[in-house]
Amino acid sequence: MNIEKMQIILDKIKEYDKIFIFRHFRPDGDAVGSSRGLAEILKATFKDKDIRLQNCDHSDYLAFLGGEDELASDEEYRDALGIVCDTATAKRISNQKYSLCRELVKIDHHIPIESYAAYEWVEEERSSACEMIACFYDTFKDQLKINETAARYIYTGMVTDSGRFRFRSVSGETMRLAGVILGVGIDTDTLYANLYLKSLSEYKFEAYARRKMKFTEGGVAYLYISNSMKKRFGLTDEEASASVSLMDSIKGSLIWLAFIEGKDGSIRVRLRSRFVTVDKLANNYNGGGHACASGATVYSKKEMKKLIKDADALLTDYKKNNTGWL
Ligand code: AMP
């Protein structure tokens, strides 16, 4: 925990009348949860401040959490404090007008690749940025207010980014803070229904994807999802991308990769692993993220094959030099 950094952020929040909150593009539960959760806490606490979510894209999957605020004019940014949640690099910020803000704060739990804000609070060992927002609230609870809406946003990110509290980043402190947030009161039945229920076409696609997945000699599982497959099953990019988790429980497949063809011909890569780490592999392919959950982009089938080969070499080497993995 980094009290000094949190204190500086709280002081900055108090100093500004206008606060714009950002997150990464192609948002997941943690990006939406941390940005909206922080916004809600600040709105509940500082009734006279102008607090707005300023993001350019959205997630259909997370639409149940609500939409974004209207984008402000360039002029309005000039006297605003910008707070960017859950975003490691500037180019991944959903709204590139973040740079017009007078000062910038970064709150993040990704492995740091780049520094882009004057005030940065980064704790890569945290299971989610939402855990950091929960910590921020808990540390200053004598000065901050929370409500059920904020708690729902924060809990969404804590649950989703920790793989339902399964990942190794989950600590006793994660569970304590989850308890604090849950204690505010959340309708978890409705939350989980929104997070887990699938459409019939997604179910049918999953059966198809299970048949289509491939394995390297070293045990890397991978799946390529083309635009035509998405069309055939009527899936959005987001729904197709979720298929990475279909490969997360195969014994011996310690690395699993989903390749999703984009409209522009580029291929989004979702890298996941257990025991062995994949963030450095992602760094070699225009990406990054966490030790066991990263993202990257390749621009041809040839580059995709090279990434698979690299992943295979990484896993083969890991298996040769380590015991106890499954
Ligand atoms: P994804 O597979 O897109 O869900 O990404 C897994 C994790 O890596 C998330 O925490 C992302 O924010 C992060 N990530 C994805 N792509 C990149 C990238 N190009 N650079 C840095 N981090 C990334």
Q: What is the pLDDT of residue 105?
A: 98
Pick from 226, 218, 217, 229: nearest CA to 316: 218
pLDDT, tens digit, 9 for 90 and up, residues 211-266: 999 999 999 999 999 999 999 999 999 999 999 999 999 999 999 999 999 999 99
CA of 295 to the centre of ligand 1 (A): 4
pLDDT in tens, 71-117: 999 999 999 999 999 999 999 999 999 999 999 999 999 999 899 99
Strand residue runs (E) in the chain: 18-22, 50-53, 81-85, 103-108, 119-122, 214-215, 221-225, 255-261, 267-273, 288-289, 293-298
pLDDT of 282 higher than 80: yes
1 pLDDT higher than 90: no
Residue nearest to atom 5 of ligand 1 (CA): 295
The alpha carbon of 288 and the centre of ligand 1 are apart by a number of angstroms equal to 6
CA nearest 99: which of 22, 37, 43, 30?
22
In the reported structure, the alpha carbon of residue 296 is separated from the centroid of ligand 1 by a whole-number distance in angstroms of 7
Picking from 293, 249, 247, the residue whose alpha carbon sits closest to that of residue 270 is: 293
Q: What is the pLDDT of residue 99?
A: 98
Q: How far away, in angstroms, is 311 Cα from ligand 1 center?
A: 17
| Residue 26 CA, closest ligand 1 atom number | 3
Residue 36's pLDDT is 98
Q: How many helices (H) does the chain have, and how many strands (E)?
A: 12, 11
pLDDT more than 90, % of the chain: 97
Q: How confident is the model at residue 159 (pLDDT cuts 50, 70, 90)?
A: very high
Does the Cβ of 146 fall within 6 Å of ligand 1? no
Q: Which of 77-81, 109-113, 126-130, 178-182 has the lowest mean pLDDT?
A: 109-113
Here the tokens at position 51 are 């607090």
Question: Does the beta carbon of 24 sit less than 6 angstroms from any atom of ligand 1?
Answer: yes
Whether 130 and 27 have beta carbons less than 8 Å apart is answered as: no
Q: Residue 72 C-alpha to ligand 1 middle, in angstroms? A: 27
The pTM assigned to this predicted structure is 0.93
Nearest CA to ligand 1 atom 19: 287
What pLDDT is attached to residue 128?
98
Task: Tell me, in angstroms, the distance from the centre of ligand 1 to residue 161's CA.
Answer: 12
Report the SS3 class of residue 127: coil
DSSP 243: G
Regarding the beta carbon of 293 and ligand 1, being less than 6 Å apart is answered: yes
Q: Which domains does the chain have, with CATH numbers?
A: 3-195 (3.90.1640.10), 201-321 (3.10.310.30)
Measured from the CB, is residue 59 less than 6 Å from ligand 1?
Answer: no
User: Ligand 1 pocket check: which of 26, 85, 86, 92 to mutate, most ligand atoms within 8 Å of Cβ?
Assistant: 92
Question: What integer pLDDT is reported at residue 278 of this predicted model?
Answer: 98
CB of 36 shorter than 6 A to ligand 1: no
Write out pLDDT tens, residues 37-68: 999 999 999 999 999 999 999 999 999 999 99
How many whole angstroms from 145 Cα to the centroid of ligand 1? 31
| Ligand 1 touching residue 283 (CB < 6 A) | no
Q: What is the per-residue pLDDT for 95?
A: 98
